[in-house]
Structures are given as structure tokens and as C-alpha cells.
């Protein structure tokens, strides 16, 4: 069937007329009434279109032909149409048909009256985990269908995830989609939305495939739960730089489950070969810890679901996971046995090497030995990463033992006596309480038991002089990135421990930066001139540290 069309000027006419040439040569007209404006993107503007003949309502995509004058733009649009018209899945926006005239190409798509997840998040700020589970599971089903047809979407983002009248997820806008000619093919076109684009697309060296959609899915998940994309900055270049460095963190003031954090962390990795598959994501504890609805109620477009509604989906397992600190006596005993059976100390900062084959946690060690006169007086000498369950335990150079828990509270044990401080954050600032190990509130029992566990695992192996005056200095913030672990101490020291065993220690009080290189050589420079010292290893790490600290401070400001 040969299809042609005619239309009046887009800006003034409320009617679109499609002229269809029948096999007999006769012309049949199909009239569409243009309704409200739905949105725009790329070359196109989208309006509601009501077919007078059938009463059907479509989302009509209007693409001006004067913007398709270049062959590449025309080819791109035809490629989108060719791919989209072959897809038939409940979680993909349905393609109906297209027609054109001298001025426009019109694409008629399934109408999603409840707009997109971007519109919802604009109203709601962020979603509850049970809502995210519902929407993300449907996104995964849509992606699985696309990938099974050798199609990479390449633009998964909030604005391209639409909601039907039944609140069913529909993946739309296949303008950047690509079909692989054969399994194993890798595309090399640099495309995507800045906040969601995968690092391998930016690098372009090894090409990209289905894994770039998995990365974007991880960004989508983070954004739904946190309320903003993980790598978002004021300018695109900085955003791209942070994506390439995988530099992001979870805000302290937003409570999300350890399962959610773990899944996001497993997805947002630079090495695309290490990202989980769609099936592995479905099997992740984030999706299996509790039941969740197949579709959300219409009311959740503007308000969160009620507590009673949520309660019906939470299993006993889901209820137990609410406690961010779980340190029962059995768990403490198990950790004690791990400590006693594993006498070796780990000298690598690679988090995977911080575990034995039985997932036993062993301490990481600082490369700095305190040999520099201009170096800091207080720094982290050892630490244990239990962040998947409890938090991080550490020892300072003055032999104090401390911990930062996953609920952002802190505890520090003096190296002399049995006195400890417990620090919690309130709306009015920090609340510091001092207790003795023999008498403390019952609600701190789990955390004190963990502190004592950390003391046994990190305890001093030799007797050294103890600075009593600094006994309650502690780590105020910590962060872990793909390349380093960063500690901010109350002694105004920032310690950056890189995975390659190099280390930076920046002291505000001494106005000095101390650097430990790969062969354990230590040197110090004034902060004001460190970037001009001629040490390339140092300047490279200073630049990286600046990016990380800027992000940390930005998150703190938002908090």
C-alpha cells in the first residue's frame, strides 16, 4: 500500500490529514485532531492525536523534514522506525505506523497518559524502595526483550520510561537504538544522555553493547531512590570526567537499604564485563527480599503509597532487614572466629583482596609510617571494611579504635581506659555522648559489641607511645571509589589511600601534603605549591583527590 499525506501548517492547524493511496488508485483520507502538547526531544515535538474514524488516541511524533535534509539525519530516523515497528512487548511503547508529507514525518505511537518517571520524580522528589522494585522490574523485562532481539536501547533514562493508563511501564524513544548484526558485535557511535551514558561509550576504545543499558539501568535505580543522578554536575565535561572515574557516593541523609546500595555498586563498575546480567539482577536480594506489587496505584503519581498498602507486601524477611546494624551475639562470635582463624594482614587496597576465599574480612594497612616531620600527627593506620553489613572499623595512629556505622553514627574508644564517645547527627548538629564500657545505654549494645570486635581484629601488635590528648579524634566521613578509600578526620586531615598502595595525607593545620609512592618512599610539600612540585605521580593523585573531595562536599552541602 502506498501511503501519502497532507497537512496544514503545524503551528496553526488543529487537524492532520493522512492521504492513503489504495491499490485501485483512489485516495482515502484519514483525519486526526491534534490535542495537547505532550513533550519534545531531539528533532521532534509530540502531541495527542485523535483519529476521527476510529476514536483511537495516539501520541503523534512530528518530525520537521527541513531538519532531515542531511542524509545521516534521515537515515537515523528511518533506522528508528525500522527497529521500533518490529517490537511487540507489553513493556515497550507500541509503534502503530508512520506517514509523511512535504513538511513532516508523523510517527503514531501508543499514548502513555500518565507521563514518564521523570515527571513523577519531579512531583515526588524520590520513590520508596517498593515502588522502585515495581518499576525497575518492568524496565528489566523490557530490556530483556530488546536484548533478546539483539537491540541496544542506548538511552535508558527517567524521561524515556513512560507509564500507561494502568501504570504499566513502557520503554520509549528508540531514537538512539541500534540492532546488532551478530552476537558479539560492538558498536562505536558516541551517543546517549550525559548523566546516564556508560563509560565505555565515552572511551570508545572497545566499543559497547548490551552492558551500556545495564549501566544506565544502575543510574536509573540510583536516581529513583536518591532523587538525582549519581554523576550529575553543572557542566557536561565534569559529569563525563566523573563517569570515567566512577566517582559517586550515597548521601548520608537518605536511607536506602544495604541491598539497594550493593546492587547499584555492582552495576556501576567501569569494567563492563563485570556488570551483572539481567537475570542476575533479578536474582539479586534487592528484588527477592520481599514481595512487591506488579503495578502501583494511580495515586502514587503524586503521593507515596500508604503504610498499610506497603505492609501487605513485606515478608518477615523484609521486616528483619530494616535494622541497618545487625550484630547479634551469634554474628559477633562468627566474626570473632574469623579474626582468630585468619592471622594474615592484607597489604592491598583492592576490596576483593580484602577477603579470603571464605569471604573473611582482613585489615587494610596504611602505607604511611609517620616518618615525616611535616606529616600529620593523627592518621588511619588500619581499617576493616564491613560496610556491606555494619560499617567501617579503623585504628588511628594514637591507637584509638573507632567505627562509622551504616546509619552514619560514629563511635571512638580511647586507647587508655574503658571510655568511649558516641556521636550521632541531629537537625541541630552533632550530639556527642561519653560513656564507660561498663555502663552505657542498652540501645548501644550492638554497636559497642562491634567496637570491641574491631578492637580485637585491629588491636596494636606492639606497644607504642600513646597521645592521650588526641584520644577522641575520629574519622568524620569516609568514602570508597574505584581507585581509592578516603577518610576525613576531625584532626583536619584528609587521607586518600589508593588501591595501588600509594597514599596522600593532606593536613590543614600543617598546611602540608604528604605523599607515599609505590615503593614506599615518603615526601612532603607545602599545600600551596604541591601541584607545581614536578612530581607527576603526586599531581595526578592530587587532581583525582580534588574531584572526590568536591563530590563529598557537594553531598554534605545537600545533606
Check whether 176 has a pLDDT greater than 50. Answer: yes
Helix (H), strand (E) counts: the chain: 14, 24
- Least confident range from 134-138, 260-264, 548-552: namely 548-552
Q: Please, is 151 exposed, middle or buried when counting C-beta atoms within 10 Å of its C-beta (0-12, 13-18, 19+)?
A: buried
Sheet with 475-480, edge to edge strand ranges: 475-480, 484-489, 493-498, 503-507, 512-516, 522-526
- From 155, 173, 213, 385, the catalytic residue: 155
Please indicate, yes or no, whether residues 454 and 426 belong to a single structural domain of this protein: yes
Active site residue 155: yes
For residues 150 and 281, state if they share a domain: yes
The domain that holds 495 is classified in CATH as 3.30.1120.30
Whether residues 20 and 80 fall in one domain? yes
* Tens-digit pLDDT profile for residues 42-92: 778 999 999 998 999 999 999 998 888 777 888 889 999 999 999 999 999
Using H for helix, E for strand and C for coil, what is the string for 316-351? HHHHHCCCCCCCCHHHHHHHHHHHHHCCCCCCCCCH
Looking at the fold, whether 89 and 187 belong to one and the same domain comes out as no
**CA atoms lying within 13 Å on the CB side of residue 545:** 25
Q: Could you report the per-residue pLDDT of 190-241, keeping only the tens digit for each?
A: 999 999 999 999 998 899 999 999 999 999 999 999 999 999 999 999 999 9
Quick one: 103 and 122 in the same domain? no
Pair 129, 80 in one domain: no
Q: Is a pLDDT exceeding 90 seen at residue 153?
A: yes
pLDDT of residue 315: 55
Q: 551 and 446 share a domain?
A: yes
Residue 481 has pLDDT above 80, yes or no: yes
Q: In this structure, are 315 and 409 located in the same domain? A: no
E-assigned strand segments in 374-458: 380-386, 391-396, 401-405, 410-413, 419-426, 429-436
**Average pLDDT, whole number, for the chain?**
85
Q: Are residues 227 and 282 in the same domain?
A: yes
Q: What percent of the residues of the chain are helix, what percent strand, and what percent coil, each to the nearest 5? A: 30, 25, 40
Lowest model confidence (mean pLDDT) among 6-20, 290-304, 347-361, 461-475? 347-361
Q: What is the CATH number of the domain that holds 101?
A: 3.30.200.20
Q: What is the DSSP letter of 276?
A: P
Within this chain, do residues 203 and 270 fall inside the same structural domain, yes or no? yes
Predicted local confidence at residue 329, as pLDDT: 34
Q: Which of the listed residues 264, 295, 320 is the one where a domain comes to its end?
A: 320
CA distances from 48 to 35, 40, 167 (A): 5, 12, 18
Say what percent of the chain tops pLDDT 70: 86
| Same-domain status, 102 and 8 | yes
User: How many domains are contained in the chain?
Assistant: 3
Give the model confidence (pLDDT) of 295-351 as tens digits: 999 999 999 999 889 988 885 344 444 443 333 333 334 333 333 333 333 455 655
Domain boundary among 110, 140, 163: 110
User: Above 60 in pLDDT, residue 353?
Assistant: no
Which range of residues forms the domain containing residue 422? 329-558
CB 360 within 8 A of CB 495: no
pLDDT for the residue 146:
97
What's the pTM? 0.70
pLDDT for 425 equals: 82
Q: Is 30 annotated as a binding residue?
A: no
Q: CATH number for the domain including 245?
A: 1.10.510.10
Please identify, among 110, 129, 161, the residue that sits at the C-terminal boundary of a domain. Answer: 110
One domain for residues 363 and 496 = yes
pLDDT (0 to 100) of residue 69: 77
Amino acid at each position: 500500500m502506498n501511503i501519502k499525506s497532507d497537512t496544514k501548517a503545524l503551528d496553526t492547524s488543529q487537524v492532520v490529514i493522512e492521504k492513503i493511496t489504495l491499490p485501485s488508485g483512489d485516495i482515502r483520507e484519514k483525519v486526526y485532531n491534534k490535542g495537547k502538547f505532550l513533550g519534545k526531544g531531539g528533532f521532534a515535538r509530540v502531541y495527542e492525536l485523535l483519529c476521527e474514524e476510529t476514536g483511537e488516541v495516539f501520541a503523534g511524533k512530528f518530525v520537521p523534514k527541513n531538519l532531515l535534509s542531511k542524509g545521516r539525519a534521515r537515515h537515523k530516523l528511518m533506522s528508528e522506525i525500522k527497529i521500533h515497528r518490529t517490537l511487540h512487548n507489553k513493556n515497550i511503547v507500541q509503534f502503530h505506523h508512520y506517514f509523511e508529507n512535504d513538511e513532516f514525518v508523523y510517527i503514531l505511537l501508543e499514548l502513555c497518559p500518565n507521563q514518564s518517571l521523570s515527571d513523577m520524580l519531579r512531583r515526588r522528589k524520590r520513590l520508596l524502595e517498593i515502588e522502585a522494585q515495581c518499576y525497575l522490574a518492568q524496565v528489566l523485562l523490557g530490556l530483556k526483550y530488546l536484548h533478546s532481539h539483539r537491540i541496544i536501547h542506548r538511552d535508558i533514562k527517567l524521561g524515556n520510561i513512560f507509564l500507561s493508563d494502568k501504570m504499566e511501564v513502557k520503554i520509549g524513544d528508540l531514537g538512539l537504538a541500534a540492532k546488532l548484526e551478530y552476537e558479539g558485535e560492538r558498536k562505536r557511535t558516541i551517543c546517549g544522555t550525559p548523566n546516564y551514558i556508560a563509560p565505555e561509550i565515552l572511551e570508545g576504545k572497545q566499543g559497547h553493547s548490551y552492558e551500556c543499558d545495564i549501566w544506565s539501568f544502575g543510574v536509573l535505580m540510583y536516581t529513583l531512590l536518591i532523587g538525582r543522578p549519581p554523576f550529575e554536575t553543572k557542566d557536561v565535561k565534569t559529569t563525563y570526567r566523573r563517569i570515567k572515574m566512577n566517582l559517586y557516593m550515597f548521601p548520608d541523609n537518605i536511607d536506602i537499604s544495604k541491598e539497594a546500595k550493593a546492587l547499584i555498586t555492582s552495576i556501576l563498575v567501569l569494567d563492563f564485563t563485570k556488570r551483572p546480567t539481567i537475570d542476575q539482577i533479578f536474582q539479586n536480594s534487592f528484588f527477592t527480599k520481599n514481595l512487591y506489587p506488579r503495578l502501583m496505584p494511580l495515586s502514587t503519581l503524586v503521593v507515596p503509597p500508604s503504610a498499610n498498602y506497603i505492609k501487605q507486601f513485606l515478608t518477615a524477611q523484609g521486616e528483619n532487614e530494616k535494622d541497618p546494624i545487625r550484630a547479634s551475639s551469634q554474628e559477633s562470635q562468627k566474626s570473632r572466629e574469623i579474626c582468630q582463624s585468619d592471622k594474615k594482614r592484607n597489604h592491598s587496597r583492592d576490596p576483593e583482596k580484602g577477603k579470603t576465599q571464605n569471604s573473611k574480612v582482613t585489615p587494610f594497612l596504611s602505607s604511611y609510617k609517620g616518618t615525616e616531620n611535616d606529616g600529620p600527627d593523627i592518621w588511619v593506620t588500619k581499617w576493616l571494611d564491613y560496610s556491606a553489613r555494619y560499617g567501617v572499623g579503623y585504628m588511628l595512629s594514637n591507637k584509638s579504635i573507632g567505627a562509622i556505622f551504616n546509619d552514619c553514627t560514629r563511635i571512638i574508644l580511647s586507647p587508655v581506659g574503658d571510655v568511649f564517645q558516641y556521636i550521632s547527627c541531629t537537625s541541630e548538629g552533632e550530639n556527642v555522648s561519653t560513656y564507660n564500657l561498663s555502663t552505657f545505654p542498652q540501645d548501644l549494645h550492638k554497636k559497642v559489641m562491634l567496637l570491641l570486635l574491631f578492637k580485637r581484629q585491629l588491636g596494636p601488635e606492639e606497644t607504642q607511645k600513646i597521645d592521650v590528648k588526641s584520644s577522641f579524634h575520629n574519622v568524620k566521613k569516609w568514602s570508597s571509589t574505584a581507585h581509592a578509600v578516603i577518610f576525613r578526620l576531625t584532626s583536619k586531615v584528609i587521607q586518600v589511600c589508593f588501591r595501588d598502595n600509594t597514599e596522600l595525607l593532606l593536613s590543614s593545620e600543617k598546611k602540608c601534603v604528604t605523599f607515599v609512592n609505590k615503593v614506599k618512599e615518603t615526601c612532603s610539600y607545602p599545600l600551596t605549591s604541591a601541584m607545581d612540585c614536578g612530581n607527576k605521580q603526586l599531581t595526578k593523585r592530587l587532581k583525582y583527590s580534588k574531584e572526590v573531595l568536591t563530590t563529598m562536599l557537594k553531598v554534605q552541602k545537600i545533606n
